[in-house]
Amino acid sequence: MINIYADETCTHPSQGKYLIISAITLESEVAKPIRKRINSLKANLPQSEFHFTKLTKNTVHQYKQLIDLLFEYYHQKESYKRGIFKPRAYRKITFDALFVEHQKIDNVTFNNGDAKLGFLRFYKTLLEFLVRKYYLQGQKFDIVPDDINLKKGLLTVNEHEIQLEGFDSVKHLINQDFELKNGIPNVIHRIQKHQSHAEPLLQLTDVILGLLKCKFNDSNLTGSKREKARREVLSYFEQRCEEAGIKLDLGNMYPYRSFNLWEFNSVEF
C-alpha cells in the first residue's frame, strides 16, 4: 500500500498570496517506523503533537529533530521505479506541494461561484498527479487528508443512482480516469479524513507546509510572538534543503523530483 498524507493552508486570499495543498507520499512499510519515531519525539512536547502554529522558542530543538528525521528518510533512495509518466526511482519519503495564486482563481466562471468547489478541484488535481507519479504495479493508494470541513454537494457524481460527494467523488473520478487511461481499476483504495493530532505523518506534513507558508506567503512571521522561533526553524529547513540539493522555488509539475513545489497554471497531464 502507498500512503499519501495531505494538508492545506491559506484557503482564503486574506491569509496569503497562495493557496497551498501539499502531501507526503511513502509506502506503508516506511510509514510505520517514521510514525514511531515521530511519536517518540513529540513525547517531549508540551502539547504532545507537532503543529506549526504551536512552535515556540522552547520547542525549536524538537522541530529541528523532526526535520532531521524527514531528511534521514529522504536521503534513502528506492531501488525500483514507480510512475505512469516515465517510471523513475524516488526517495523513501517524498513531498509535493501545489501552489495556486488566489488572484488567478476564477470561481465565478469555473465553479459556479463556489470557492469550496474550486478548492476541492485543486485537491483532486494534486492527488491525481501524485497517483500517476508514484504508482507502483500491484499497489493501491490509501490517502489521508487532514480533517477538512467540506459541505456536501461538491463534485457531485451520480453513479448507479448513488450520489457521491466530497472526497468520495474525488476517489471515484480519479479511479475512473486512471482505469480509462491505464487499464488499472480502483487504484485508490480509500480517501479517509483524519485528525492530525492522531496521525504523526499528518503532523510532519503540517510542519513542512507551515514552513513553506512562511517562506512563500510570509505568513505567521512578522509581528508574531513566535517569529524568532519560526524564522530559526525555517532557516534550518532551508539549510537542510540546500544540503540535499532541493531547490525551494516554484516551478512546474516535475515527475522526476522527490521534492517538488509546483505553481498551478494549467492541467498538464
What is the CATH number for 219? 3.30.420.10
Q: What's residue 194's pLDDT? A: 85
Q: Is residue 26 part of a domain?
A: yes
pLDDT value at 46 more than 50: yes
Count of helix runs (H) and strand runs (E) in the chain: 7, 8
How many structural domains does the chain have? 1
CA distances for 173 relative to 127, 157, 177, angstroms? 11, 8, 6
CB neighbours (10 Å) of residue 138?
Answer: 6
**Mean pLDDT, residues 121-139:** 94
For residues 92 and 76, is the Cβ–Cβ distance under 8 A? yes
Q: Is residue 176 part of a domain?
A: yes
Q: What's residue 161's pLDDT? A: 59
Determine the angle formed by the axes of helices 115-134 and 166-182, rounding to 10 degrees: 40
More confidently predicted of 194 and 70: 70
Phi-psi region of 83 (alpha: psi -120 to 50; beta: other; left: phi over 0): left
Q: Is residue 172 part of a domain?
A: yes
pLDDT value at 150 more than 60: no
Q: Which of 85-89, 109-113, 170-174 has the lowest mean pLDDT?
A: 109-113
pLDDT above 90 covers a percentage of the chain that reads 63
**H helix runs in the chain, sequence order:** 28-42, 60-74, 107-110, 115-134, 166-182, 200-217, 227-243
pLDDT tens digit string along 55-94?
999 999 999 999 999 999 999 999 999 999 889 999 999 9
- Residue 100: its H or E element: strand 94-101
Listed residue (258, 220, 196) closest to 8, CA to CA: 196
Domain of 152? 2-263
**Mean pLDDT, residues 116-136:** 89
220 CB-contact burial (10 Å; exposed 0-12 / middle 13-18 / buried 19+): buried
Cα(61)–Cα(68) distance, rounded to whole angstroms? 10
> Binning pLDDT at 50, 70 and 90, where does residue 269 land?
very low
pLDDT value at 113 more than 70: no
**Mean pLDDT, residues 241-249:** 95
More confidently predicted of 47 and 215: 215
Q: Is residue 156 part of a domain?
A: yes
Name the DSSP class of 20.
E
**Mean pLDDT, residues 139-154:** 77
Residue at 136: amino acid letter:
L
Residue at 40: amino acid letter:
S
Q: Is residue 269 part of a domain?
A: no
pTM, 2 dp: 0.91
Q: What's residue 17's pLDDT? A: 86
Q: What's residue 110's pLDDT? A: 62
Q: What's residue 268's pLDDT? A: 42
Q: Is residue 268 part of a domain?
A: no
Q: Is residue 132 part of a domain?
A: yes
> Binning pLDDT at 50, 70 and 90, where does residue 15 land?
confident
**Mean pLDDT, residues 160-164:** 68
Helix, strand, coil abundance in the chain, percent, nearest 5: 45, 20, 35
Q: Is residue 33 part of a domain?
A: yes
pLDDT value at 26 more than 50: yes
What would the grid cell of residue 92 be?
523513501
